[in-house]
Amino acid sequence: MNNQVIDLSSCTTEDGSLWIFGYGSLTWKVNFPYKSRMVGYIKGYARRFWQGSTDHRGIPGQPGRVATLIRDMKEITWGVAYQVGPDDIPKVIGYLNFREKCGYTTDCVKFYSADNTKNLPSVLIYIATEDNEEFLGPATLQEEARHIVSSCGPSGQNSEYLLRLAEAMRKMGITDRYLFDLEQKICELMAQ
């Protein structure tokens, strides 16, 4: 499935910059140029490890589990918004479209800064679609933890991805009960 990039004008500022929201590995591993970054959250989405990964944290036939956003009006998802300058937008979008090539689509949503002082236009988010062939869907936390501990791909151990994401959230002072509960189960399995 190809990414469907929407009209980016609703995610850009007056100076033509684009804001991109990272809620997975983009919270701790940014491989594109950006002008500034801001910690904050989006409303109406929950971060879940329901997307399969055969190109980064797993392999064909043994996918890893990576974060995606699931619509849930009662939830918020914390992460980092990155401001990309106008000249870098085509290169960054090309990079992200390649990186998120397995079943992702895009949307622009409202962003809330952690200190509620910054008023941004909407941010661009990448979301795995539930009808993509790599979407794994929900499982119990124990099943998700077992799956993550046993998966590895070209980008490394699947558990490293989750542990670094949990560490990034803690460094930002963010509590994510689902993520931290999953991290605890993974640590218990790794200690066995």
> For the chain, what is the domain count?
1
First to last CA, the chain: 38
Kindly state the tokens that stand for 48. 């879940």
1 in a structural domain: no
3 in a structural domain: no
Look at strands 18-22 and 64-84 and give their pairing: antiparallel
2 in a structural domain: no
Assess contact for 162 and 148: CB atoms under 8 A: yes
What distance in Å separates the CA atoms of residue 23 and residue 38, rounded to the nearest whole number?
Answer: 12
Q: What is the CATH number of the domain that holds 39?
A: 3.10.490.10
Q: What is the mean pLDDT of each run of 10 residues along the chain (192 residues)?
A: 63 92 96 96 97 94 96 97 97 89 88 83 92 96 98 96 98 97 98 94
The pLDDT value recorded for residue 7 is 74
Range of the domain at 179: 8-191
The pLDDT value recorded for residue 63 is 96
138 in a structural domain: yes
79 in a structural domain: yes
143 in a structural domain: yes
Kindly state the tokens that stand for 30. 């940014």
The pLDDT value recorded for residue 1 is 41
- Tens of pLDDT along 77-96? 999 999 999 999 999 999 99
What distance in Å separates the CA atoms of residue 7 and residue 46, rounded to the nearest whole number?
Answer: 24
The pLDDT value recorded for residue 6 is 62
37 in a structural domain: yes
Catalytic residue (one of 14, 75, 100, 130): 100
53 in a structural domain: yes
167 is catalytic: no
